[in-house]
Amino acid sequence: MDPIRIAIVGMGKIARDQHVPAILGNNAFSLAATVSPRDSGLEDVPHHRALDALLDEGPAVDAVALCTPPQVRYDLAALALRRGVHVFLEKPPGATLSEVAALKSLAEKTGATLFASWHSRFAAGVAPARAWLAERRIDAVSIVWREDVRVWHPGQDWIWEPGGLGVFDPGINALSIVTHILPRPFFLKEATLVLPENRAAPIAADIQFRDTAGAPIHMDLDWRQTGPQSWDIVVETDAGTLKLANGGAVLSLPSGTEHSEDVEYPGLYSRFATLIRGGRSDVDIDPLRLVADAFLRGRRETTDAFYD
């Protein structure tokens, strides 16, 4: 079977650090081209400044991975889908829920695969955590996702603009895990969003959710953490405590702790290849919907101006 010819659109840090090695390490794909208006691309890989130029002039591609900021992703995805090209969407899948719904409808009409990826779901501890929780009574959940924005998003002004999500850019990773591992749906009850006086997106948030059986779920997000970073989910159950640490890579159960290597992006590309070969799409918007609820219902507080 011939490999899937894929182009990366948007050659920022995530593309170079994660997408390129995951594609090169998967025999189901061949990296056919890159696209970026500012970056010069990779040595020995054809490069274009715009996606329409690639699709018009070649080389031919079967799929694209969109690694651009979410605010510009809809037009790129729609262009590719209309050409019958499969689309991998980095998280979050769009700047709005309506954009993603429109893309899903377009993919259904064209028959191309649309994959709304959530890389944290492919962290090594997530699948066994989901299996262990499937038949447990959930009593309470705590999510602490605190990191230093200067380390992870230096100089990325788009992330502070409307649609860039602010601290929910990492926070949505936690929500992608929790919506996947908990056996029941949950919804927002109240939220406080803390916005720097010079930014349009929050730098911190405190959120209260509740699942459909009444279990409380508390989420603490902060982009001002220095020193050790915190990406932890703790689930209290009738059978003891489950903890996912390091973004889902380390799973602790009453029976012991398991440490595993980073398998997120290789897992994403294996999933994308399976979807393409099967003629299917995977467009889960639950994490983005919860973020939208926080923006819809959350109380705003203003804090000191933030500068990189």
Query: What is the residue-wise DSSP string for 225-271?
Result: --SS-EEEEEEEETTEEEEEEGGGTEEEETTEEEE----HHHHHHHH
CA distance 275 to 296: 33
What is the Cα–Cα distance from 217 to 185, expressed in whole angstroms? 11
> CA-to-CA distance for 170 and 104, rounded, in angstroms?
24
CA atoms of 85 and 114, how far apart (whole Å): 9
286-297 and 97-110 helices, crossing angle to 10°: 150
Rounded Cα distance between 128 and 126, Å, is: 6
For residues 93 and 291, is the Cβ–Cβ distance under 8 A? no
User: Among residues 13, 91, 109, 189, which one is catalytic?
Assistant: 91
Give CA–CA dist 305/233, Å, rounded: 29
User: C-alpha distances in angstroms, 77 versus 99, 103, 112, 165, 240?
Assistant: 10, 7, 11, 20, 44
88 phi/psi in degrees, rounded to 5:
-105, 120
Q: Is 109 a catalytic residue?
A: no
Task: Tell me how far apart the alpha carbons of residues 15 and 45 are, in angstroms, rounded to a whole number.
Answer: 14
- Active-site annotation, residues: 91
